[in-house]
Each structure stands twice: as C-alpha cells, then as structure tokens.
Chains A and B, each alone.
Chain A
Amino acid sequence: MTPFWLRATLATVEYAVCAVLLALGVVLFMEAFRLGPGWGEQGPQPGFAIFVLTTMMVVGAIGVAITNYLKPDRRPFFEVSQEVVDLLKVGLPVGVVIYLIPWLGIYLTAGLYMGFFMAWYGRFRWYSAIAGLVAFPLVLWIILSKGFGLPLPMSVFYRQGILPI
C-alpha cells in the first residue's frame, strides 16, 4: 500500500496552506480590532496596518484556493519515498541540534553534529569523523569567540568551569 505521504498531491498541500492562512487571518483580524483597525485623528491606528495586510493575505489565500479548485495540480508533493527518507535524515539531526544547543552550547553541539553526520550520513572512517568532531568547533571557537568575541551559547560544562566552551 502506498504510504500516505506519497499520496498527498501539491493540490492537497496547497489547500492545507490556504486553510492555515485563513485560520491565521481570523486570529489577526481579532488582534487588529483589539488595537483599532481604523483611522484616527492623526492617521492610522495601531491595528490599521494589521487589518489591511490581513485582508490582503486572506484575499490572496481565497484566490489561491479557487485557482487550486479550478486547476488542481495532481503531481505528488513527494515523488518517491526516498525523498522523505533523505529529508528526514538531514532534517531530524537539525532539530536535535537546536534542542542540544542550550545544554551543550554552540561549540560542543557543532562538534558532535559534524562527527555524527560525517560518520552516519557520509560513512567517513571513524578517525576522519573524530577529526571533524574536534576541528570544526575548534575553528569556530577561535574565529567567533577568540577573534570576534561573539557571545554565543556555552555548555553546562563551561558554566561549571569544567570546559572552556
């Protein structure tokens, strides 16, 4: 049986995007009315721009939905299952990296990410992956922290005085 992600067409995803935009439109209209969507004595009120722009967005979304209904694009959003696999193999580590940054800081995370990705995705030999794991954060640290003094997130080990990064 074809997996559900391969059955989704561009038209289906287009409808989903329009639905999200319309739902967002409702929230934004409420915000515009809270702030004042009209014209005061000295020009537009704080909600005026939001009101006009949300109207533009909603009109555009309705236009796209109508076009999609009249001429639906039946091509699949993902052509083959390999696309989804490749996307997840790259995308999931990116999500994990963001989650790790507050704990391990930017440099340790960068090293682990490089080492892991080289070994797992690139199938580099273990010693090459370890070289990447060490070299990448070191170069980043020398340039960004030592060179330009950028205040980037540091690890819990840095906060406890165990590591310099």
Chain B
Amino acid sequence: MEALELLGLGMSALMDPSRLGFMMLGIVLGLLVGVLPGVGGTTGVAILLPVTVFLEPISALVMLAGIYWGSMYGGVITSILFAVPGNPWSVAVMFDGRPMALQGKAQFAMSIAFVVSFVGAMVGAILFTFFALPFALMALRFGPPEMFAVLMIAFGTFVGLGGAPAKALIMIAVGFLLATVGLDVVTGRPRMTFGTLELMQGFHFVPITIGLFGLGEVLNNAAERYKVQIEDMTKAAKLGLHDIKEAVRLVIRKWWLALSSALLGFLTGILPGAGATPASFMAYGIAMKTSRTPEMFGKGAPEGVMAPEAANNAAGTGSILPMLVLGIPGSPTAAILMAGIFMWGFIPGPRLFVEQPEFVWSFIASLYLANVGAVIICLTATPLLAMMLRTPYAIMTPIIVMLCFVGAYAIQNSMLDVWLVLIFGIIGFILRRLEYPLAPLVVALVLGAPTEAALRQSLIMSDGSMLIFLQRPVSGPIAAVASCCSCCR
C-alpha cells in the first residue's frame, strides 16, 4: 500500500502542466529519434541531456523518460514499413511485421505493435512499482555463467527457425562468425582482421541487418516489380480505426502471449548487459516454439509482432530498475539517465528513494503516463504512417536507401558500414531467392559476442571446467531450460 501512496505522490507531482508538457515533448522527440535509423533512444537521450540542464530536475527526468519511451515505440515504424529497424530491439518485430506490410496489413501490424508495447510497458511499470528491490537484488546474483545460460535460451529458441536445417545451421554459423571479427574479448588478439585496421572494431550488427533486410528488400522488390507492386498492394488496404480495434481484440484474445512475453522481457531487461534486444529475440523464439502454427512465423504472423514488442518494452522498463534502485545501470540508456541524475545533484541508489521520494516516484509515475501518451500519439498517427507506403516507388526508394545509409554510417561514423549495407543487401537478395532463413544469422550476430564473452569468462572463473554452468544455483536451472528449448521443436 505504501508503494501506491508514493506512486500517488509521483502522479500528483506530474500533474503540473509544465512537467506534463515536457514529458509530451520528450515523447514526440523520442518517436522521431526512434524512427530515424542510427539515432535510436540512447543517442536521443544523450543528445538532449545537456538541454535538460536548464530545467528543474523532475521536468528534466520525465522529459528524458519521454524520449526513451517515445523511441521504444518509434523504432517499430521503419521496421514494419521499410524493413529498416529504427532500433536494435526493433529487429525481431521486422521478421513478421514487414511481411504483414507487404500483404497490405501495415496498419494492423503497427497497431498490434503499439498496443502490445503499451501492455508490455505497463506490466514492466507495475513490477517496477511493487517489486523493485527484490528484482534488483536478483539481478546482482547474475554473473557470466548465468548470463551464458540465459543467452543459450535465446539460441535454443531459434533452433529450427524456418528453412531447411542445413541452411539454418549455415546462417547461425555465419552470424556467429561475423560476431567474432575484431579483437578477442579475453586476450585482445585480432581475429579474422587479416591485417586490416578497419576490421579491428569488428562488425556492428546494425549495418548488416539493414543490408540483409532493408536493402535486400529494396532489390527484391525491384526484381519483382514486373508482377507485384507494393504501392498497389497498400492502396487496396483500407485505413481507419478498424485495424486498431482488431489489434486490441487480438491482444486481449492472446493476453497470455502478451503477458508472458512482457514478464520474460522484464526479467531479461534487469540483467546487466542483456537489455531489450536479446529479450525481443527470446520472446519471438518462444512464441514460435509454443505456437500452434509455427510455420506462419516469418510470413506475417501477428504473434511474431506481439511477442518481441511486449518483451522489448517491458525490458526497457526493467533495464532502468537496477540503475535507480542500486545505482548500477543495466543498459547504455540507463547509464546516460544515471549521468543526468548525477548532473542534477542526486546519487542513484536506495538512499535516493528515502531522501528524494518525489523525484524518484515522479519518474516511476512517468513510466505510466509517458506510455499512455505514447500509445495515444502512435495509434492516432497509424493511418498516416501506413499511408507512407502509398508514396510513389520512385520517391520511396531513394528515401529508404538513404535511411539505410544514414543508419549504417551513424553507428560508428564509418564508410565501411555503408559498404557493408550494399554487400549484405546483395547477399540478402541472393539468399532470399535460395530460401535461406535470414533471422538466425541476425540473432547469432547480435548475441554471438556476448555469448562467447560470457562463456570464456565463466570458464576462466572455473579454470576451464564446464561444470560451473550446472553447479551454480541460478545458472543450473536456466541451463536446463536452455537445453529444453533447444530440444523441443
């Protein structure tokens, strides 16, 4: 009950019109940074952090929270419409969101994504409000062996993800191999750089994903224009409130999937170094494994949009929890928010809850209000966003191509990443025609480096003994779940 009273204190602090105004401004800015590939929520919060110095602390914090939440919602838009993910955690939603858009169901896909994002964020916010401390303490018990076991669950869920098994095996291996390029995480020795300085920093997964899906899709559409024209497909689709109502009905009907994905996302989100991206992949994989129609995944299954979106928004809430409760940031964005809290003269941690309850609980209240604001704005704009697909092909193609290049370049300020988009665009076009599943490559690429790092750190801890994964009280059960996920089809 005390938590409810304190939440009420936070809500009343946020009822100040200027604070609400800053929060809404943050949401709109966040949607914009989320839509732009390569900018993303982390960069958006970092760029706007200095601006907030001039605001009073509560307004500043809720504005930054608004940007963060806005970007969580905004990332799905370009993922679904153009197969160019606005954020790393919007990659998984693209696997089914984009096929839905190609079938003329862009508005339905976006409506599902927004509604379920709201559900995920609300589940996360409720858990945050009532169980912040136990969850934060649980996160502290996670070391490299536990993290490795969690990441193995993510891989386990992706075994058998579409396509012929041999082709899926190749794609997982190639994705993992691409993740190993660069400096070895333990010894610091260059691996697969072949004497090239540019390869020392390794491959970031965003340019490769943008190439495989974004540019690959552009080339595929170009080749198939003689029989299918996407703007004609989307012109045939009706726009209006119908899809939003259908999306709400679907989320209510499949409430269990939304709730379980959100819980999974929240738990993954609070783990340091995990965050929303692995959570979204894990939720997608588990949704496919437990679906009665797994063969529909990757071809436009609404469940493939629901699961990752619920998970990543709940993970977004979860990743902030250890920062606020313990002073340990769980994600890059949480680290930047923490820098802001320091900048305003506060020290994150348990004492902050006692010394500055209005500040802390205003932030927690903003988890609720910012999400209400974001979902209203997004759902209102959905028909307008879906209409973007009706733009003439000769205008849309340069826009998508330039968004691909901007998104790739902005990650590391490197022209090599822009070339990677072209190279992987061509590879994506060929592999798509040969029916290679692209999703396992991306999953392995995203999770490959942290998985190898966790494995090797664990083995250093145990002097090379694999038993460490079974002997520890938390990693043992998680490893057993990972094995089940790999074995069950």
Contact = CB atoms under 8 A, between A and B. Distances in A.
Contacts of A147: 32
Contact of B223 (A56, A67, A86): A86
A152 interface: yes
9 contacts: A35-B191, A41-B463, A42-B463, A63-B166, A121-B394, A122-B394, A122-B395, A124-B394, A152-B409
Interface string A135-160: 01000100110011111110000000
B166 A148 contact: no
Interface centre among B44, B401, B426, B460 (most CB of A within 10 A): B401
B223 A54 contact: no
Contacts of B413: 151
A111 B19 CA distance: 40
Interface string A38-73: 011111101101100110110111011001000000
Contacts, number: 178
Most chain A Cβ neighbours within 10 Å, of B39, B177, B410: B177
B415 A136 contact: no
A10 B36 CA distance: 36
Interface string B162-184: 00111101101110110010001
B192 A28 contact: yes
A64 B165 CA distance: 9
Interface stretch (B76-84, B97-105, B214-222): B214-222
A149 B33 CA distance: 12
Interface residues of B, number: 67
Contacts of B409: 106, 152-153
B223 A136 contact: no
Contacts of B172: 56
* A117, A123, A151 interface centre (most CB from chain B within 10 Å): A117
A67 B164 contact: yes
Given A82-B226, A136-B398, A148-B44, A42 B464 contact: yes
A144 B80 CA distance: 22
Contacts of B398: 110, 113-114, 117-118, 136
Given A14-B434, A44-B455, A87-B223, A106 B406 contact: yes
B464 A31 contact: no
Interface of A: 10, 13-14, 17, 21, 28, 31, 35, 39-44, 46-47, 49-50, 53-54, 56-57, 59-61, 63-64, 67, 77-78, 80, 82-84, 86-87, 89-91, 94-95, 97-98, 101-102, 106, 110, 113-114, 117-118, 121-124, 132, 136, 140, 143-144, 147-153
B210 to A, nearest CB: 13
A77 B431 CA distance: 11
4 closest pairs, A vs B, by CB? Answer: A122-B394, A43-B459, A63-B166, A90-B222
B163 to A, nearest CB: 10
Contact of B47 (A21, A86, A148): A148
A126 B191 CA distance: 52
B169 to A, nearest CB: 4
Interface in B374-425: 392-395, 397-399, 401-402, 405-406, 409-410, 413, 415, 418-419, 422, 425
